[in-house]
Amino acid sequence: MTKDTTLKEKWDFLISSLSKQFADGDELNIDGVIYLIGVQELGQGQRKFKKDEKMNLMHIAICKLLEPYGYYEFDYFDEDSWPHYKTLTELPSLKPGEQTVLMKEAIVNYFENLNFFN
């Protein structure tokens, strides 16, 4: 992909690729991608997670995704090796569509940093 590729094109490519790899061809939604990022950031491999752990995984991912924007900063790993973040700046009030665009942009940036699009 080129640097001129749009956010939408990168998002569509990302969803297509991840859906094939992790969702048996069903299309992942944004929450599914956030969950996968949380699992990746936890670094404990694929395993069964309890409901509260799944919510924590999504929180980890959101913190990681919004860290480059100055909203969160990594703080420490707890005794179970779960990462914890501290809030640096409160998130602005955004309309649902604006929230979605911010998260898609942050997700694409996350995967760009992993050289996913090369």
Burial status of residue 65 (CB atoms within 10 A of its CB: 0-12, 13-18, 19 or more): buried
pLDDT tens-digit map of 30-43: 999 999 999 999 99
Range 34-53 average pLDDT = 93
pTM over 0.85: yes
Amino acid at 102: L
Q: What is the pLDDT of residue 105?
A: 96
pLDDT tens-digit map of 65-117: 999 999 999 999 999 999 999 999 999 899 989 999 999 999 999 999 999 99
